[in-house]
Structure 1
Amino acid sequence: MEDQDPKDEAYTNEAMETTKADTLKERKVSWAKLRRVDSLNIEAGNVSDVQSHDNSKVNWRITLLLAYQSVGVIYGDIGTSPLYAFSSTFSNKIPNTDDILGVLSLIIYTIILSPMLKYVFIVLKANDNGDGGTFALYSLICRYAKVSLLPNHQAEDRELSNYRLETPSNRLERATKMKVKLENSKVAPVVLLFVTLLGTSMVIGDGILTPAMSVLSAVGGIKEFVKSQDAIVEISVVILICLFSAQRFGTDKVGYFFAPIILIWFCFIGGTGVYNLFKHDISILRAFNPRYIIDYFKRNGKDAYISLGGVVMCITGTEAMFADLGHFSVRAIQISFSGVVFPSLLCAYIGQAAYLTKFPEHVADTFYKSIPHAIYWPTFVVAVAAAIIASQAMISGAFAIISQALSLGCFPRVKVVHTSTKYEGQVYIPELNYMIMTCSILVTIAFQTPEQIGNAYGIAVVAVMAITTHLTSLIMLIIWKTSVWRIILFYTVFATLELTYLSSVLSKFVQGGYLPLAFSFFLMTMMGIWHYVYRGKYTFELKNKVSNSFMKDLVKNQYINRVPGIGLLYSENVFSFDNLNQETIGCSGVVRYGYKDAIQPSAEFERQLIENLLEFVRHEHFILEGDTMEETTRPQFDAARLVHSSILVKEGSESESGASEVCSEPPSLSSGSIRPKSSNGISNGPIQGATEEMEFIQRAVSNGVVYLLGETEVIAKPNSSIFKRIVVNYVYHFLRRNFRQGEKTLLIPQSKLLRVGMTYEI
């Protein structure tokens, strides 16, 4: 082999080093892209004075405050279950005193397995960025697998996603195969949405039944001192009206006010339980041996199976721990339940069981009969207060879940009020509050006794828990990639437990069990129709939306007239108008409202928008001049606190007129500024320097702001079936006209609103 010329060798080495450097640079850029996190998502989480749900970022002082608040909001329902659990289980009488041991053992292990083990230590971790509930589980699954019925996996959607690399493993391979099967199935997306809507409907049904059940049970303590049951019903209705009227003050204030009362309540029931245990029968502690459950079923057979519908009353309100998670945090709920609620409940039920061993004939009024005479009236007052608060758990949970349903296009537009400046996720929905109040009052008047309501109550409680088990199992499989044996164990234990309870409570269908199913059918029909049309609108917009290339050609057109001022353009789809034409237009990125962001009044929204836009311009010019920062570290338009819409900033001579591209109703938002293009206020060349561009933006601000919103009419295609035409043209139209309109939801002033008529055929 010939010797290589030293010059050639040097040249070759230099080329190899250059190639290696280029390769490393490309690899660096590639890895940077893989690590890419949408800056708007980051900034949206950096809202000042708002506490994140991430436990690692929440200090212990805030966590303990949230734990304190959660006692007053979440646990009123499960905390007042000792009012009616034993009386619901033994509806007639106690046939054998040994049955008390069997039922107590059932109660103990039901509480240990369901709220403590399942929810506190497992399900709470299956949250969607801090939000809990059925829709949070569905949203989490849809973000990891393409199983949403919405076609929201377009190129622009992927640009707004986070990227993450995972180490190959058997669990990853198993999860990937399952994910592919779900995505390729035509049935799976429909089933997932159906189950989610069913679970949501059951939670709302639970929110309707809980106030009636709890308040009637507590007020029943004075039935020996009043002439008729009608008086108890009337008092209950008044209390319910007061309860729902207090919701507008928000979870933050309600939690601080209610927490001391519930803490006192837990002290009362826990202390009374310990007192009864030592006074009547300490040997009742034998119930911790599960053998007594087996003996109970052997003795009573079918009657024992039917009595499970009463035993399940001991875990009413368990789902609220998960549904209300958005109001608090995982760690706060774990602390409050483990430290306060769990030991108090066990003591209460053990004490009542000890009392019943001596006085089995008092089973119909177990709670009040077991209270020592000296503290009867104080306990009654606290019981009534606790029963009022018990309703708070499911009401707050219903607010949280419906706010999530709105973001996924599964519920008609309603007003969502963020009630706390300190903690994100605390919301109040006036329309839903009044709907639940009306239904709860009607249920109270119609059923009149907690025993009859209990027949319906159990179905709503257990159905939601069973749905949560199934969705959590799917998350463990495709997202957490948990060991298959742990998944099997989780599903086998909890699905068997809950389906057994569900089959038991369904046996009381005729006696009132039909009520939550009727509520669910109505709500599911409404949400299903709304989502069907929403999906059709979304697909229509995807097929007809304006492309970036069209917009680039549009802004280059010298014959396009520009109207002075700022135009805000709203759309439900993702827009991507970033840097359409550097010489004639400078778009500043996509501004988006997250569904957890508070809607700001128009003046505050405009102020924040302009401040952030000016800040972006300063950063952009600094980067362009220095040219020293990588693309992945360039600052983007701060989208914090800005909500679902699209913005286009325009300026021109006052004598000119113009038009804007208009999309349909909210939410989603893009932003930009069109530069001057002639001597009369519009120039063809680019603006030189940040100062000139900021002055240009401020001139646009002085000319005013206009909000452009589509006046959308959705109709079925002419060749559609009669059923589809009825659903789209009449039912959906009725829902849309009778719920909140877009400009009211987004707090758009009428004086600045410009509507553009549009017709969608789906």
Structure 2
Amino acid sequence: MEEDGITEGDRPKVVEVDSADGYEGDKGLRKINKFDSFDIETARLKSDHGYSSNQNLAWMMTLKLAIQSIGVVYGDIGTSPLYVMSGVFPDGIKHEEDVLGALSLIFYSIVLIGLIKYVFVVLSANDNGDGGTFALYSLMCRYAKTSLIPSQQAEDKEVSSYRLEVPSRRLQLASAMKSFLENSKAAKYLLLFVTMLGTAMVIGDGILTPCISVLSAVGGIRKAAHSLGDDQIMWISVVILILLFQVQRFGTRKVGYSFAPILSVWFFSIALIGIYNFVKHDSGVIKAINPLYIVRHFMRNKMEAWISLGGIFLCLTGSEALFADVGHFNILSIRLSSCLLVFPSIILAYFGQAAYLRKHTGDAATAFYSSIPKPVYWPMFVLAVMAAIIASQAMISATFTIVKQSVALGCFPRVKVVHTSKDHEGQIYIPEINTLLMLACVGVTLGFKTTLQLGNAYGIAVVFVFNITSIFLVIVMVMIWKTNILLVILYSLTIGLTEFLFLSSVLYKFIDGGYVPLVFAVVMVTIMLVWNYGYRKKYEYELENKVSREALVTIMSDTNIHRVPAVTLFYTDLVHGISPVFTQYVANVPALNSVLVFVSIKSLTISRVPLEERFVFRQVESGIYRCVVRYGYRDAKMEQQSFEKVLIDRLKDFIRGGALPIADQQGEASDHGIAMVHEERVQREIGLVDEAIKIGGIMYLMGQSEVIASSGSGCSKRFVINYLYNWLKRNVRQQEEVFGIPHKRLLKVGITYEI
């Protein structure tokens, strides 16, 4: 059967590896496609087992992850009872029925957005177990050709974890949306911009969450120590924040296990106190389950009720962390801990506070601490401070995840990613981002001092992310899930409209601190756009000026070029063809190693690529090969020593599998002589590789490219490329640091690109 111009007879066999941790030798034979075109470099590798989803983990592991998740994911939403009521009633409670209206709004917001949207719908839109804004974007890029970087290859979609299994009904609307996104350049740019905006807002959330949580908790000490002012509370909070960011280096697993018992006690405690207040003060607040109290609340308060939505929304802070942090755990563990402990506890806490406020309407500003029974005040204060510290962990972990995703997809400058768990690849730590968040948190805390204006800023950051997630989710529903259009409309008119109302309310407080996350988002989006623009232009230049096959043959046949026994791994971003850096090297150093492998590290728009599908080869000439190494944005880069061994072993497997040009396959069985010649060529090529390794070892070659705007470029392009992009490029981690290439075996070739 012929597929894309390739016949079954053109598909040689290749030996595979079968280990997620390293190379373990031959595990069987699989087939790859052999292409005639020099520009089509990768091949199809089918896996018998493919990528095992996190949901297939054993129940014991799932329960362990559920326990860990309590200490990492829920601190933010779990500590929202500390400050929600003061945000809803900043000027006090004017009517007793307002308490029921506010409680009804809180209850239905948690049910609609926290539970239905995030726990049951959004978590299902994960990208092979990974979540966050970029996970949704990569999912859409994989299904529709919306990526702006021209590195896509038809064979990528056949990686086992790349495939999309979707229903076959309601194709017309899905096809129309897919066609629109693929054919509209404006839609592609808008999609990327909105993704970057959502990412920037999540990072902003990661800055504001620690500030408001810690300030709210520490502020409770005033109930016992009235002499403490805002400045003292502020400095205590700053010290706590600095200590919090110092423990991030120990990893999500250790932090999760350390914090989980504390937060578990916290959730049980606020639930019990809520039940106590509910029984003691006013069990009639159960009436708030009736949504008519929401209607009465708006009819009675009108404009003030709409403004109060900004405070109501704070009960949902941290919901986005459920999705963004799913890569650190798994979907089932998040759903278990959400439904069995977290949401029941916070709902009981709000009902208890409402019951207390019905009898003590003057205590709205300190509702949480005022409603605590006196005998347990100090234990709860200590627990609240500890829970607030932990609350910051949710968005810090989410920020690490989303930054790693954006780096892998070429939308963020290179940073160091430390994998802190051998068992779970999603648990990471990024030193540069951790330092940035710490400095920003300290600055914001010193600037705001109190939680009132900070709450305004916090609300805008969170609600923007909620709306972006809903927009992307609707696209996923229509284009990928092919959901019934009536259900899509129902989602948009309920959850989507509710979030839009929240957005309109928090924007009302733009001047009162709400501008902070937007200013931060502008800075972050600018950095991301500049980096992505420079990266794309550089890639497009290399693609347009790649070395042709004829030019390569001419270079290799030049008798003035000396061949030295050794293996050179030539690193290049270019996936299609050979980088122009190669000709620059040959022009200045007329010597080549006997085995030359052009290595392209490529990030696919998927979370993981199974190891047995990671390396794909193509022979260019005798001793010259192209290798595309495909990673998902969640994959950990291999240690360099292991990488070298796996690459060389896979290269030999590729040669043995029939990679070398031979006579027509149909006559091979009947022509013993041709088969013998082919076997000799295979042995000669493998012998060449073995000799090169034995005598010269492995060397690395990499381009040190300078990028400048071409003559005739406009002022804006010259400013972006010559100054902004090059400044970012000089001040981030270099490629050899990211890939862990040993400096003693590295040669860099300088080249200037005019783009």
TM range (shorter): 0.7 to 0.9
Distance in 1 (alpha carbons) for counterparts of 2:146 and 2:656? 42
The code of the aligned residue for 1:282 comes to: S
Give the counterpart of 1:743 among 736, 742, 747: 736
The code of the aligned residue for 1:434 comes to: T
- For 1:713, the equivalent position in structure 2 comes to 706
Contact (CA 8 Å) 2:211, 2:445: kept in 1 or not? Answer: yes
Q: CA deviation at 1:84?
A: 0.4
- For 2:330, the equivalent position in structure 1 comes to 329
Three-state SS of the structure 2 residue aligned to 1:71 is: helix
The code of the aligned residue for 2:619 comes to: L
Higher RCO by CA contacts (8 Å cutoff, separation 6 or greater) = 2
TM superposition score normalised by structure 1: 0.83
Give the counterpart of 2:697 among 704, 708, 728: 704
1:75-99 per-residue CA deviation (whole Å, 9 max, x = no partner) reads 0000000000011100011111111
Distance in 2 (alpha carbons) for counterparts of 1:383 and 1:165? 44
- For 1:272, the equivalent position in structure 2 comes to 273
Three-state SS of the structure 2 residue aligned to 1:759 is: strand
TM superposition score normalised by structure 2: 0.83
Distance in 2 (alpha carbons) for counterparts of 1:572 and 1:411? 16
Three-state SS of the structure 2 residue aligned to 1:423 is: coil
Q: CA deviation at 1:393?
A: 0.7
Give the counterpart of 2:721 among 707, 717, 728: 728
Contact (CA 8 Å) 2:99, 2:358: kept in 1 or not? Answer: yes
Contact (CA 8 Å) 2:77, 2:318: kept in 1 or not? Answer: yes
Q: CA deviation at 1:180?
A: 1.2
Q: CA deviation at 1:460?
A: 0.4
- For 1:72, the equivalent position in structure 2 comes to 71
Q: CA deviation at 1:234?
A: 1.1
- For 1:596, the equivalent position in structure 2 comes to 634
Distance in 2 (alpha carbons) for counterparts of 1:203 and 1:581? 45
- For 2:264, the equivalent position in structure 1 comes to 263
Q: How does 1:86-485 map to 2 (within 5 A)?
A: 86-154=85-153, 171-224=170-223, 225=225, 226-485=227-486
Contact (CA 8 Å) 1:601, 1:748: kept in 2 or not? Answer: no
Q: CA deviation at 1:550?
A: 5.2
Contact (CA 8 Å) 1:110, 1:315: kept in 2 or not? Answer: yes
Q: CA deviation at 1:694?
A: 5.4
Three-state SS of the structure 1 residue aligned to 2:569 is: strand
Compare 729-738 and 163-172 and name the one that shifted more: 163-172
Compare 226-235 and 108-117 and name the one that shifted more: 226-235
The code of the aligned residue for 1:580 comes to: Q
Q: 1:113 to 1:43 in 2, by over 3 A?
A: farther
Q: How does 1:649-668 map to 2 (within 5 A)?
A: none
The code of the aligned residue for 1:492 comes to: L
Contact (CA 8 Å) 1:552, 1:580: kept in 2 or not? Answer: no
Distance in 1 (alpha carbons) for counterparts of 2:727 and 2:260? 41
Contact (CA 8 Å) 1:156, 1:575: kept in 2 or not? Answer: no
- For 1:680, the equivalent position in structure 2 comes to none
1:287-333 per-residue CA deviation (whole Å, 9 max, x = no partner) reads 11111111111111111110111000100011111111211111111
Q: 1:521 to 1:560 in 2, by over 3 A?
A: same
Q: 1:220 to 1:146 in 2, by over 3 A?
A: same
Q: CA deviation at 1:586?
A: 7.1
Three-state SS of the structure 2 residue aligned to 1:459 is: helix
Q: CA deviation at 1:606?
A: 2.5
Q: CA deviation at 1:166?
A: 8.4
Three-state SS of the structure 2 residue aligned to 1:580 is: strand
1:402-446 per-residue CA deviation (whole Å, 9 max, x = no partner) reads 111111211111111111110011111111111111011011111
Q: 1:385 to 1:44 in 2, by over 3 A?
A: same
1:475-518 per-residue CA deviation (whole Å, 9 max, x = no partner) reads 11111111111111112212211110011011111110000000
1:505-562 per-residue CA deviation (whole Å, 9 max, x = no partner) reads 1111111000000000111111111111111011112112234565567657776532
Three-state SS of the structure 2 residue aligned to 1:592 is: strand
Contact (CA 8 Å) 1:208, 1:439: kept in 2 or not? Answer: yes
Three-state SS of the structure 2 residue aligned to 1:563 is: strand
1:675-721 per-residue CA deviation (whole Å, 9 max, x = no partner) reads xxxxxxxxxx9774987765643432232222211101011111001
1:572-605 per-residue CA deviation (whole Å, 9 max, x = no partner) reads 23257844368x3474853334332323443343
Distance in 2 (alpha carbons) for counterparts of 1:128 and 1:27? 28
Q: 1:190 to 1:717 in 2, by over 3 A?
A: same
- For 1:665, the equivalent position in structure 2 comes to none
Compare 392-401 and 369-378 and name the one that shifted more: 369-378
Distance in 1 (alpha carbons) for counterparts of 2:728 and 2:116? 41
- For 1:669, the equivalent position in structure 2 comes to none
- For 1:757, the equivalent position in structure 2 comes to 750
- For 1:639, the equivalent position in structure 2 comes to none
Three-state SS of the structure 2 residue aligned to 1:132 is: coil
Q: CA deviation at 1:157?
A: 5.7
Contact (CA 8 Å) 2:167, 2:481: kept in 1 or not? Answer: no
Q: 1:547 to 1:130 in 2, by over 3 A?
A: farther
Distance in 2 (alpha carbons) for counterparts of 1:158 and 1:252? 33
Q: 1:47 to 1:565 in 2, by over 3 A?
A: closer
Contact (CA 8 Å) 2:14, 2:657: kept in 1 or not? Answer: no
Percent of paired sites with the same residue: 51
Contact (CA 8 Å) 1:309, 1:458: kept in 2 or not? Answer: yes
Q: How many residues align?
A: 680
1:190-228 per-residue CA deviation (whole Å, 9 max, x = no partner) reads 111111111111111111111100000000111241432
Distance in 2 (alpha carbons) for counterparts of 1:551 and 1:725? 33
- For 1:673, the equivalent position in structure 2 comes to none
- For 1:580, the equivalent position in structure 2 comes to 619
Three-state SS of the structure 2 residue aligned to 1:247 is: helix
Q: 1:160 to 1:227 in 2, by over 3 A?
A: closer
Three-state SS of the structure 1 residue aligned to 2:185 is: coil
Q: 1:601 to 1:26 in 2, by over 3 A?
A: closer
Three-state SS of the structure 1 residue aligned to 2:702 is: strand
- For 1:650, the equivalent position in structure 2 comes to none
Distance in 2 (alpha carbons) for counterparts of 1:613 and 1:134? 37
Q: 1:167 to 1:346 in 2, by over 3 A?
A: closer
Compare 261-270 and 122-131 and name the one that shifted more: 122-131
- For 1:17, the equivalent position in structure 2 comes to none
